[in-house]
Structure 1
Amino acid sequence: MDVLPPSPARIPRHLLTDPAFLHATRSRDFPAIFALAHRHGISFNRIGEATGIKAERVSRIARGEGTVTALDTVERIADALRIPGALLGLAARPWEHCSLTPHPESDDGDDPMNRRKLLRGALAAGLTAPAITALSTTRQSLDSALAADTPPADLSDLEAAAETYGYGYHGQAPTRVLADLVSDFADLRPMLVTPQPIATRVRVCRTAGQMAGMAAIMLHDLGARKEARGWFATASRAARESGDRQLHAWVLARSAMLDLNYGAPQAAAARAEQARHIAGTRPTAASTLAAAVAARAYALARQPDQARSSVAAADAYMERLDAGARADTWLTHGEQKHHVHLSHAFTVLGDTRRARNSQQRAMELSAPTSTMTRSLLTIDAAACDHHDGDTEQACRRAVAVLNSLPAAYRTGLIHQRATDLYRSIPTLQHREDAVRQLRDVLTA
């Protein structure tokens, strides 16, 4: 008579998005895994029955009095508790592809539409702790898959989606676009754990690098510095694995902007120079962006000679860019974007004439729906007013921008840039009405 294999002691689905559980699986911390499973309703007897490990030993492991090291035992535990292989550093388990039994908690499951709704719902209230957890879980899941040595399947639809996201917000709330992008990004994970030709894996890693980089840009815009750093790290890893040096340089240049905009110009300059080295000396979108970001970083670091040299390099590259590289997307370097960078560099250098020229040109090239860009350009113009001696006009401009913005835009980068303007105003002027109004809006 055949003996039936033990039925799985499936862990609750929500544990697969629990940061503590994910940390435990990545480090193969089986005392924590068993303890968390027990805390969420699976008895030690049930774990033992499903894994073939004596219940007494399961209990001892959960108390930290033992652990698991044998690969076959790790695989048995993954199968018994239905832990996806990638979370434990294993290849995808057979049941991940062929299971016909729906999970009792899988109403929302991995269905893309439901995942998108959940992400939108989590982000609707802003970057709260649950929203950050949902974003991080999605990123970490694909990050784990990148560590596996198994190629993905075809991804032409997601390549097209990445191109579409590259065109920016189009007047939509950043959190809404972020939710949609991360939902699509999650669809890349199964492609990384399904054996396919190496050329296809290169494509999926390239798309993952693009999407993770754009998610980091959105988080940067929203002021979530730590989370943006994590997404940039994932984007960099994916770009390196794809072998696309220009994408890798683009990711590094964009991540340098994170340092740049949040008070670390020396670190930004170093990262931008790394991006310039990887991009090489050809006129590409990445090499032009890296030079422009380096100019801003050196200006903020009070290294005007290096800043002006970088501006000259960026301008020289810009003149030689082909039409494709000049497209107005996040992944390229159009004329509008170029003048946005020069506006900030010249503003910080105190070259208000050239700064205003770049501001005017960038405004002419910016769509009316480009809320983020137009607001930053106006705050640069306000900083030029202050530098030229009209601090009252500077404050009134900045206040008008902040008051006109929807709540979703009134934080993060725009708030930081307006705060930099306020901090540049001498303390003796802080009692003036216009300066106090700027302070009040910033602290509201």
Structure 2
Amino acid sequence: MVGPLPHRALPPELLSSPEWRDACRQRDFARVFQLVKCRAGIYPSRVAALCGMTPSRVGEIMAGHRRLAHIDVIERVADGLRIPGAMLGLAHRPWEIPEPAPVRKQAAVAESPAEPGAECPSGEHLDDLLALADGHVTRSTLAALRSSVEDYWRRDEQHGGASLRPAVLGHLRYVMQIMRTAEAALRRDLQSLAAELARLVGWAYFDARQYSTARTYFTQALQLSRGQGDGLFMANVLSCMSLQATYDGNPVDALALACKAQDTARSSGDQPLVMAMLHMREAFAHATLRDTSSCHQAVDRSRDAYERARGREEEAPSWVRYFDETKIIVDTGIALARLGEAGRAEPLIAEGLRRERVAQQRGRAFHAFWLASTQLQQGRLDDACRSAGLALDLSAVIDSPRVAGHVHEFQRRLAPYAREASAIAFEQRMREVLG
């Protein structure tokens, strides 16, 4: 049989609507087909072509004269209409996770299309010079490179990731270059290091709100880690992509990515701290979809996994150890804030902000914004402006367009209070700090 015809994804507002979610949960395909007709403009003849059915059969289903019961037909409908598997009680569909782009043979990490040549002006000559200067790769080379990666992550949290891109891209290019000629015993470690550097580059672009370029590097990191069979790190990369999809206004994609990350992590053994972080990513996606019940369930699963991880932190990969008690408190607050449960969210975010180290400047800026948001939702303008003032002050000392974007978002929310003294003072301070 010819496979389903391609078509664009269903509108996010349809996928997130309670009526749609209820129809999918009950597998009421009469309602599903009616909704895609009315809300997505996909008429019965097109539904039939997409799902490998006859138009008459689709018409009978829409009229309530027939029902779909066979799982293979339901899967065809899910694939044809691009309905996420979880909505119909199915496993995640193959198309829900994008295939990694092929790595180019010569320059696997060519400069971003958005900024051609900007990050590494000397091009391939830099690779040649670095290789000549180093001569050959040793264990001490690997140790030095790993130390640089750890330092990049510290600086990312303290100062933002946007300004790190040239240096991290240079390291990524260098590792990809020496990986081709290194001894077999070191090549696997270099590939693991390249995957971490690609994830870090992706994160830096994400922090700069350049989401398409970030996705390119996350995809490269996914491909490198998949080549090693490193399921846990693949789950880590998928979690980054899930968070980015949440920011980029694609919560359905964010949910699919978070769930795929969980499936991938489970296949790598018992890692409760990793699962705690991944369940919280899932909670963020549910919250953005305004699915209150599913969000609370995901938060509960995150807490349960975290409790199982207590005392076993050293068994967890180093990249997930940031997810500590303070982080789970503040992330729970953010999930509740996204749901609109401001009264429950505020004390959690405030407590997380109180516990955070001063050096965690970007995290503190984000959390100050979320605290301000919960206070504004409750009508406490003065408190909200004070909290947003902290986010504003921190945004002045870190290079993070994401943080600056949140500050501007708060300023837009002040429109109904334009004549209030607190709002006027905040906007004046914003002009002084951000120009």
TM-score (norm 2): 0.61
Superposition deviation, residue 380 in structure 1: 1.0
1:274-325 superposed Cα distances (whole Å, 9 cap, x missing partner): 1111111733443222211111111111111111111011111111222226
Q: Is the 8 A contact 1:299 1:345 kept in 2?
A: yes
Match of 1:187 among 174, 183, 194: 174
Quick one: structure 1 residues 438 and 131, their matched pair in 2 at CA, closer, same or farther if it must change by over 3 Å? farther
Q: CA deviation at 1:212?
A: 1.5
Q: Which amino acid aligns with 1:210?
A: E
2:313 aligned with 1:318: no
Q: Deviations over 1:18-49 (max 9, x none)?
A: xxxxxxxxxxxxxxxxxxxxxxxxxxxxxxxx
CA contact (8 A) 2:395 2:404 kept: no
Larger Rg: 1
- Say whether 1:264 aligns with 2:250: yes
User: Structure 1 378/327 Cα, relative in aligned 2: closer, same or farther at 3 Å?
Assistant: farther
Give the Cα separation in 2 of the matches to 1:367 and 1:88. 40
Partner of 2:72: none
For 2:237, the aligned partner's letter is V
Deviation at residue 353 of structure 1 after TM alignment: 4.7
1:88 Cα deviation after fit:
8.2
Q: Which residue is 1:303 aligned to?
A: 291
Opposite residue 292 of structure 1, the aligned amino acid is M
Q: Does 1:378 align with 2:368?
A: yes
Residue of structure 1 in register with 2:14 after alignment: none
Is the CA contact (8 Å cut-off) linking 2:120 and 2:166 kept in structure 1? no
AA aligned to 2:279 is: A
Query: Offset at 1:202?
Result: 2.7
Q: Report whether the alignment pairs 1:242 with 2:232.
A: no
> 2:203–2:214: 8 Å Cα contact kept in structure 1?
yes
Structure 1: where are the runs of 5+ without partners? Answer: 1-84, 90-118, 120-127, 142-151
Q: Distance in 2 between matches of 1:400 and 1:131?
A: 36
Determine if contact 1:343/1:377 at 8 Å carries over to the other structure: no
Structure 2 SS opposite 1:87: coil
Aligned to 1:223: 209
Give the Cα–Cα distance (whole angstroms) in 1 for the partners of residues 331 and 286 of structure 2: 13
- Report the CA distance between 1:87 and its aligned residue: 2.3
- The match for 1:289 is 277
In the TM superposition, what is the alpha-carbon distance from 1:168 to its structure 2 partner?
Answer: 4.6
What secondary structure, in the 3-state scheme, does the structure 2 residue paired with 1:134 have? coil
CA contact (8 A) 2:159 2:362 kept: no
CA RMSD of aligned residues (A): 3.6
Report the CA distance shift for 1:175/1:330 in structure 2 as closer, same or farther (over 3 A): farther
The answer to whether the Cα contact below 8 Å between 1:399 and 1:437 also exists between their aligned partners in 2 is no
Matches within 5 A, 1:200-211: 200-211=186-197
Q: Distance in 2 between matches of 1:388 and 1:328?
A: 38
Q: How does 1:349-364 map to 2 (within 5 A)?
A: 349-364=339-354
Alpha-carbon distance, 1:226 to partner: 2.6
- When residues 160 and 296 of structure 1 are mapped into structure 2, their CA distance, relative to the original with a 3 A threshold, is same
Is residue 165 from structure 1 mapped to residue 165 from structure 2 by the alignment? no
Query: Against the structure 1 CA distance between its residues 224 and 362, is the aligned structure 2 distance closer, same or farther, given a 3 Å change threshold?
Result: same
1:46 paired residue number: none
Q: Which residue of 2 aligns with 1:413?
A: 402
Superposed CA offset, 1:120-160 (max 9, x none) = xxxxxxxx94675539x79xx9xxxxxxxxxx975343234
Shift of the 285–241 alpha-carbon distance from structure 1 to 2, 3 Å rule, reads farther
Assess if the C-alpha contact under 8 Å between 1:246 and 1:278 holds in 2. Answer: yes
Deviation at 1:408?
A: 4.1
Count residues in correspondence. Answer: 308
Change (3 A) 1:298 1:279: same
Residue 180 of structure 1 aligns to a residue in which SS? Answer: helix
Structure 2 contact 273–320 (Cα < 8 Å) conserved: no
Would the alpha carbon gap of residues 416 and 86 (structure 1) be closer, same or farther in structure 2, given more than 3 Å must change?
A: same
- Residues 286, 294 of structure 2: 8 Å contact kept: yes
Separation (CA, whole Å) in 2 of partners of 1:292 and 1:359: 15
Distance 2:336 2:316 in 1: 22
Query: Is the 1:252–1:272 Cα contact (8 Å) retained in structure 2?
Result: yes
Q: Is the Cα contact below 8 Å between 2:365 and 2:391 reproduced in 1? A: yes
Amino acid at match of 1:182: L
- The aligned residue for residue 368 of structure 1 is 358
Residues 64-143 of structure 1: pairs in structure 2 closer than 5 A: 86-87=105-106, 129=115, 132-134=118-120
Distance 1:323 1:339, change over 3 A: same
Amino acid at match of 1:337: K
Q: Which runs of 5+ in 2 are unaligned?
A: 1-103, 128-136
> How far apart are the structure 2 equivalents of 1:342 and 1:131?
41
Query: How far does the alpha carbon of each residue in 1:365-421 deviate from its partner, in whole angstroms, 9 at most, with x for none?
Result: 422121101111111111110122213432343144214532643x52212333444
2:194 and 2:224 in contact (8 A); partners too: yes
- Residue 331 of structure 1 and its aligned partner are, at CA, apart by 6.5
Please list the CA deviations of residues 316-349 of structure 1 after superposition, one character each: whole Å capped at 9, or x if unmatched.
1111222226798566523333334223112222
Residue 30 of structure 1 corresponds to none
- Aligned partners of 1:328 and 1:337 also within 8 Å: no
Whole-angstrom distance in 2 between the partners of 1:171 and 1:256: 23
Q: Deviations over 1:82-118 (max 9, x none)?
A: xxx94289xxxxxxxxxxxxxxxxxxxxxxxxxxxxx
The CA deviation string for residues 138-186 of structure 1, in whole angstroms up to 9 with x for no partner, is 9xx9xxxxxxxxxx97534323433443445364464454443333323
Query: 384-393 or 367-376, which moves further after superposition?
Result: 384-393
Taking a change above 3 Å as real, the CA distance of residues 329 and 247 of structure 1, as seen in their structure-2 partners, is: closer
Q: Match for residue 15 of structure 1?
A: none
AA aligned opposite 1:309: Q
Separation in 2, partners of 1:205, 1:226: 23
In the alignment, which residue of structure 1 is the partner of 2:31? none
Change (3 A) 1:352 1:373: same
